Amino acid sequence: MAEKYDVIVVGAGNGGLMAAASSARMGKKTLLIERHNLAGGAATSFIRGRFEFEVALHELCEYGHADNPRAVRKMYDWLGANVKMQELPDTYRYIIYGKDGFDVKMPAGRENFINAMEKYVPGTSEKMEKLFDLCEQSMNALAEIADGKDKKEVIKKYPAFIEYATKSWDDVLNKLKLPKKAQQILGAYWCYIDIPTDEFEFPYFATMLATYVENDAYIPQRRSHDMSTALAQVIYDNGGDVWLSTTVEKILVENGQAVGVQIKGEKVFAKEVICGITPHAVYGNMMDQKCIPEYALKYANSHKLGTSAFLVYLGLNKSCRELGINDYSVFIASTGDTRKQYENCKTMDKNDFMIMNCLNTVIPNASPKGTSVCYITKLVDDGVWDNVKPKDYEKLKVKIAKNAIDEYEQATGIKISDSIEEIAIAAPPTFARYMGTPDGEIYGYHCAPWDQIIGRSMDLKNVVNPLPHLYFCGGHGFMCDGYNVSYTTGLTAAKIAVSDINNMGADHE
């Protein structure tokens, strides 16, 4: 085998695909290696009966309109990746059915969003305007830093960004004196990163909220697998290779630096190696311990694994209109307190937070005529499934799925249980098998208060590049998790690796 590449990327998830596509686009001989028979990781789909189900993507932020492109659209345009995207008309519907509950529908657009909040919580408009001003400063500051702008100049331009850099979302909302109900309505997106709002650093949550509200969210018209296929095609179009159904056994290290990978006992060499998989898997299974820098091991071991998930995929034999489903995203729980929601995700019996998505509300032909495709997502934390015995596994899955369907029906008054034609259930062990992550975690490392996007970015070199010519990207990278940030980490890793090759020149041959 003994082939030689400029860049080898291990793992074809979102981060790995973007890293490989970017490296190839920048003219480097690139190889992407994936153990599955399809590229994409969680960005894929599967078929049951006559229904095609989206595996994981709820909505994509940081895409933006054609006349105001955001980071992800800019990446796709630069790569020449062609994906048809569908803009979502609203942000979310949020139903809290417990004490002091509410049922609100929040539209897209800053003015519309603020007006809706004023309707649900009178007297909040002025405070919401101030909040969005702060959110925009964080959003723009992080975007300019990602574009390589001088950090000192960015801080001067957006003073609120640094002022609130170490404050939690709750801290700032309390300072603005926003009422409790308004704070709870605003907290819905905590689940996309699995950080309760009393820990969620303000710039990160602010950027996420402003991006979804002001730049709208999008989903691919042909499922997220279309995004993965488009990125793989970029690699081919730029002279790169993609090896599917191929498992990397070992990262090769010589003289303290990465030099390639081993596959079935054969060596494939490269100037740079980028890993789009968890450092735990790399350090634990793919490298000799003596080759791993002490700092890198300490950094990896200092992290708590992120959340896993429980998903129920539903193929319904009625259209969403017949069923009365009008909302793409509905968040449902018994309490609006995100700390309680987060803690409840660590239990089997109290975990009632869920998200229901219905693709047909925005893509009418997402399933055969007269049918609809929905899926329920519940977060699962702290290895709750570790003690489930094999003999109880199927029965428990069915029980939780039934409870989730019942909860949706009771919260919305919409009956779906008698229209189920196909059902598939994915529990944490499902994600552990498919994604190869410990405990089936799907969000990378948990973002503790000391270790969110600001902290990780300040230590960018060691997080992305812990060993000479070895890089990491994806959900375990320097920007926590999410489709858009995984893409950003992949592009960043590729840029650093390509720069290293260009700077080393002939000495790196």
Predicted confidence pLDDT, tens digits, the chain (509 residues):
557 999 999 999 999 999 999 999 999 999 999 999 999 988 999 999 999 999 988 899 889 899 989 889 999 999 999 999 999 999 999 999 988 899 999 999 999 999 999 999 999 999 999 999 999 999 898 888 777 788 889 889 999 988 998 899 999 999 999 999 999 999 999 999 889 999 999 998 999 999 999 999 999 999 999 999 999 999 999 999 999 999 999 999 999 999 999 999 999 999 999 999 988 889 999 999 899 988 888 888 887 778 899 999 999 999 999 999 999 999 999 999 999 999 999 999 999 999 999 999 999 999 999 999 999 999 998 788 988 999 999 999 999 999 999 999 999 999 999 999 999 999 999 998 888 888 888 877 777 776 666 666 666 666 778 899 999 998 777 666 678 888 988 999 999 999 999 998 644 44
Task: Using alpha carbons, select from 401, 302, 295, 299 the residue that is nearest to residue 354.
Answer: 401
Q: How far apart are the first and last CA of the chain?
A: 18
The whole-angstrom separation of Cα 168 and Cα 172 is 7
- What pLDDT does 280 receive? 86
Phi, psi at residue 52, to the nearest 5°? -105, 125
The whole-angstrom separation of Cα 459 and Cα 488 is 16
The whole-angstrom separation of Cα 438 and Cα 281 is 8
The whole-angstrom separation of Cα 328 and Cα 307 is 23
- What pLDDT does 298 receive? 85
- What are the helix (H) ranges across 123-248? 125-146, 151-157, 159-163, 169-175, 180-186, 202-215, 225-237
The whole-angstrom separation of Cα 157 and Cα 332 is 39
- What pLDDT does 461 receive? 65
- What pLDDT does 9 receive? 98
The whole-angstrom separation of Cα 497 and Cα 465 is 9
- What pLDDT does 455 receive? 65
Q: Which tokens belong to 235?
A: 């690699």
- What pLDDT does 506 receive? 47
Domains and CATH numbers, the chain: 4-83+222-303+445-508 (3.50.50.60), 108-215 (no CATH), 307-438 (3.30.519)
